[in-house]
Structure 1
Amino acid sequence: MIETPDACVDFVNAVGLCAWSAGTPLPSVTEQTPWGDQAMLHTWFWKDDLHIEKRIYYGQLWGAGTPVFVSLKLLPTMIAAQGDCDPRDLFEKNRLTRVALSLYEHIEAHGHTAKKHLPYPPKTSQTPPLVQLQQHFLITKVGLTGRTRGSYSYLWGSCQEFFPEAFVRASKLGVAEARAALVAHTNLSETQLKKMLRWQEVA
């Protein structure tokens, strides 16, 4: 039973990859807590604090509105499985939108940036480009702007700079090797993982 942040870390380390809440084929943290419908409220700060403390990885890798936790041991495999993560190559291949690339380039040039200071075009939804960039491990949450209603938001920065060791280890893994390892680890098919994690074809 998960009732503390330490227990949450232990669970993520045990399963490697899991969802925060129910609704995916993955095991979920909230289903392992004693709080039922109030589980997300009780675990709200865990998801961000444990990630920022670099005890686990947290992000919307499974798509918009479906954040997941990844153990630091499994994180290099997740990164390697994604394949090409050069933002300009991805843009040329139509796998990254112009808005997403502009957000990445702003962070690249200016460093850690609060969400409200990112250069979104007028009337543009903020969620899709941020999800794209997270799924390709280009950016990640590196801090909070506040912890109260009205101030609670995120600082975004380079994922590679925040988790450098994971990228070093990922560079030693082949894409096909990493994907096969995730299929074996999760007991999900490559088709399922490819769809949810937006994997591209391996050349």
Structure 2
Amino acid sequence: MIKDKFQNNQIILASKSPRRKELLERLDLDFITISLEADESYSEELKKHEITEFLCHKKKLAYHNWQENQILITSDTIVWFKNKAFEKPKSREKAIEMLQTLSGQTHEVITSVGIFSTQKELVLSDITQVTFSELDQQEIEYYVDTYQPYDKAGSYGIQEWIGYIGITKIEGSYFNVMGLPVQKLYQALKDFKT
């Protein structure tokens, strides 16, 4: 079992996201959670998974307490639509604007995960296609005001009210849209040599 494989390791999830913590717990792994302060800026030349993979590496560089037996997991998610990254909204107006843009459209949710030790590193990415129905202004404002999606890429959580009433189609991993492609991560951890 994967849990046995890492019994001599300390697994660290570097994320503030309660959803990522919950998803990693579902793999029955023992781990601790930390918050890293990393600069999340990137060059405008980067596209799609290049952005999220770059940010996974940046988060790794913000960790300075390395010990031999540690495995650090970092992650980053963006919504990608019409050649543009939709990250976490910084205001109510921005959240409403993002959802108005995504309404009635299909976009990509891209999550990258970095697995790092003192000897090895691996970064993987997953892409899920998500289609929204036409959302009216009242629905968008109700969701933003009730659920405050300011910590979510693209201004929405698929597991929240808007996912139930507004998402008509999903192609790929549901958990990837939540912020962690757990199936890919599980396979990568199985193969990860410590």
TM-score (norm 1): 0.25
Which structure carries more strand by proportion?
A: 2
Which structure carries more helix by proportion?
A: 1
TM-score (norm 2): 0.26
